[in-house]
């Protein structure tokens, strides 16, 4: 049950403009975007721009989805797990690779495994990330630029995880497998 207000089809002004653009691209306004835009069109616009820029980073679509799945699993965000399970499939990840990225188990792709492990460590610990963790992701073939882009991706999904966890946003995507 949503805890924050939403406007949906009743949105006006900048929120209505953003919702129209989202609907034309996705066919609907997902509940998470409705929540964010209804309460802060500035935050929704920033998030959309943030994710558009993320698509132009050094990370592939599959890598971005591995990051978003790993972070959402650690955060326990059922909404983002559902959304990014779907997005992961659209990016070409197998159902097995999606579950492995979430759980931190082997996907069959050593580079994606290293990325998932790195992300889970970054978001699941406090303090300085241990040097061996950074060394491992770089040994798997990730560059310094990709490490920074990974942190950028973590920032994006962390925002939506937090909104959805606070709001208890109703999942409007197929539920992610447990």
Residue 57 and residue 50: Cα distance in Å, rounded? 11
Tens of pLDDT, residues 59-92? 999 999 999 999 999 999 999 999 999 999 999 9
Residue 2, pLDDT score: 82
- Is 17's pLDDT higher than 80? yes
Place of tokens 């559902």: 82
Residue 178, pLDDT score: 84
The interaxial angle of helices 110-124 and 144-167, nearest 10 deg, is 60
- Is 6's pLDDT higher than 80? yes
Helix, strand, coil shares of the chain, percent, nearest 5, are 70, 0, 30
Structure tokens at 52: 């558009």
Smallest CA-to-CA distance from 172 within 103, 78, 96, 95 is with 78
- Cβ proximity of 84 and 115 under 8 Å: no
Give the CA distances from residue 155 to residues 95, 107, 108, 150, 177, in Å, rounded to whole numbers and listed in that order.
Answer: 25, 23, 26, 9, 24
Residue 80 and residue 151: Cα distance in Å, rounded? 17
Q: Which long-range contacts (CB under 8 A, 24 or more apart) does 131-140 make?
A: 139/114, 140/110, 140/111, 140/113, 140/114, 140/115
Average pLDDT over residues 131-154: 98
Is pTM, for the whole model, over 0.85?
yes
Q: How many CB atoms lie within 10 A of CB 130?
A: 11
Mean pLDDT of all residues in the chain?
Answer: 96
Q: How many CB atoms lie within 10 A of CB 52?
A: 9
């Amino acid at each position: 049950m949503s805890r924050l207000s939403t406007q949906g089809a009743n949105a006006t002004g900048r929120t209505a403009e953003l919702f129209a653009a989202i609907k034309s691209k996705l066919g609907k306004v997902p509940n998470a975007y409705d929540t964010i835009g209804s309460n802060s069109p500035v935050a929704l616009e920033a998030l959309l721009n943030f994710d558009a820029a993320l698509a132009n980073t050094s990370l592939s679509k599959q890598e971005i989805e591995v990051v978003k799945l790993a972070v959402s699993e650690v955060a326990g965000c059922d909404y983002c797990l559902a959304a990014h399970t779907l997005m992961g499939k659209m990016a070409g990840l197998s159902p097995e690779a999606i579950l492995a990225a979430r759980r931190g188990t082997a996907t069959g792709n050593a580079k994606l495994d290293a990325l998932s492990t790195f992300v889970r460590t970054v978001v699941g610990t406090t303090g300085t990330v241990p040097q061996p963790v950074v060394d491992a992701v770089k040994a798997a073939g990730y560059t310094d630029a990709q490490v920074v882009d990974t942190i950028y991706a973590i920032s994006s999904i962390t925002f939506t995880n937090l909104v959805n966890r606070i709001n208890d946003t109703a999942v409007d995507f197929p539920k992610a497998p447990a």
